[in-house]
Amino acid sequence: MPLEDLFPFVKEEMQREGLWRNSFESSDRQWFMRTIDLIRARFLTIKDFSTKGRCYFSDDFDFDAKALTKNLLKDKRLRYFLPDLALALERLESFSAPSIEKVIRAYAEEQEVSAGLLINAARTAVSGTSVGPGLFEMLEVIGRDSVVRRLRKAEEIIPES
């Protein structure tokens, strides 16, 4: 379905679920349409935009229990790595997918851990799930402020010992 044809259906769903902002039709329209385009390939119904896609529009989203266990709770070092990674991402001049990828991979190398550990943990910390579009594109669309805030909040989720 063409993006413009999909827009009214997504708008109605977002309004029904309290996720709609009027700026999605004005100042944030380009971002909104880009976000819808990025995530729609993974969704089967309009309802998915307000459930599976909730993390793109709100900090109030649920964590998938399997993703939490598999990606955030499996390595206690993530309690320190993710807030540290947030600081590195916060300092980026350009918050773009290529620069985000470069920072994450460099940080993994610096910490002598696999990039996959950080990529999977960051995805879960930021979206609550282990699936979705490419991580770096997802982080770019969600935006620096939300990504940094959510990575820092991961420290509260991961136990110290």
User: How do residues 103-128 score in pLDDT, each as one tens digit?
Assistant: 999 999 999 999 999 999 999 999 99
Q: State the pLDDT at residue 42.
A: 84
User: 129-151 in b/e burial notation, b at 16+ Cβ within 10 A?
Assistant: bbebbebbbbbbbbebebbbebb
The whole model's pTM is what? Answer: 0.91
Q: How many Cα neighbours within 13 Å face the side chain of 27? A: 3
Look at residue 124 in the predicted model and tell me its pLDDT: 97
Instruction: Report pLDDT for 132.
Output: 87
- CA dist 27 and 131 (Å) reads 29
Res 159: pLDDT? 85
Average pLDDT per consecutive 10 residues, the chain (161 residues; last block may be shorter): 94 96 96 94 91 94 95 94 97 97 97 97 96 94 97 92 68
CATH assignment of 65-157, among 3.40.720.10, 1.10.10.350, 3.60.20.30, 3.20.20.70: 1.10.10.350
Mark out the alpha helices in the chain (DSSP H runs). Answer: 3-16, 29-39, 65-67, 78-90, 97-111, 115-127, 135-142, 144-157
